[in-house]
Amino acid sequence: MKRRAFTQVATGAALAASAAWSPLAHAQAKKPQAGTDYLPLDPRAPTEAAAGKIEVVEFFWYNCPHCNAFEPTLQGWIKSLPKDVSFRRAPVAFQESFVPQQRLYYTLEAMGLVEKLHAKVFAAIHAEKQNLAKPEGIVEWVAQQGVDKDKFVAQYNSFTVATKASKAAQLQNAYKVEGVPALGVAGRFYTDGSMAGNMQRALQVVESLIADVRGGRA
């Protein structure tokens, strides 16, 4: 589902991307084509990677079933990244109702809990059918995971988390994100499952773009 359709559906509806996931193929694939498999950005989007690093951004939404399906594949891919690639996530906010989950992610990040709880948030929503769309539900669930409730709430309502959520929304606009999951490379390229055909191929497109940036061909 494209970004413009979000105002017409209830929270939790499916987003644009392939529902079929499989391990990444290592065979040589056809060279990705600009305008078909990915979009070059002009102007470029801001990056946070250190000098000499190539940044990859995943745009996601916790309520998105395809982001949930993509997460295990993405986790395996992240573990194999070379040292000159810097990965980060950016939770999207296509509308105001997405902001509580943006804040959830950045609060987990600030408290060093992403590795422990990020996948569990997806499981709570998609497997356990819990409603984590609003702050009160989020806080209650996090407390059930053994997290100090007061510390979480303080961080959730902090200026730092609010600023990160705002910057994530700005970044999604800079990358012209049309659906999730989606991937950005070096502030210069954008791809998603709709463009690449599925998210397995989107990762292959990203790998090709990383190689081009590394080799000075892009």
Tens-digit pLDDT profile for residues 158-181? 999 999 999 999 999 999 998 999
The pTM score is 0.88
pLDDT tens profile 10-33: 333 333 333 333 344 444 458 999
Rounded average pLDDT over 40-53:
96
Rounded average pLDDT over 193-211:
97
Tally of domains within the chain: 1
CATH number for 174 = 3.40.30.10
If one counts every other C-beta atom within 10 angstroms of the C-beta of residue 174, the result is 17
What is the predicted pLDDT for the residue at 16?
A: 38
3-state SS assignment for residue 118:
helix
Owning domain of residue 77: 34-191
Between the CA of residue 135 and those of 48, 89, 94, 96, 131, what are the distances in Å?
A: 28, 20, 18, 13, 10
Look up residue 170 and give its DSSP letter. Answer: H
Total residue length of the chain: 218
What is the predicted pLDDT for the residue at 29?
A: 57
What is the predicted pLDDT for the residue at 217?
A: 82
Give, for 123, the enclosing helix (H) or strand (E).
helix 114-126
Enumerate residues 6+ apart whose C-beta is below 8 A from 127: none
What is the predicted pLDDT for the residue at 3?
A: 57
On the question of pLDDT at 100 being above 50, the answer is yes
Rounded average pLDDT over 51-79:
97
Rounded average pLDDT over 45-64:
97
Task: Report if residue 117 sits inside a domain.
Answer: yes
Task: Report if residue 8 sits inside a domain.
Answer: no
**Lowest-confidence segment of 24-33, 43-52, 112-121 by average pLDDT:** 24-33
Task: Report if residue 112 sits inside a domain.
Answer: yes
Task: Report if residue 85 sits inside a domain.
Answer: yes
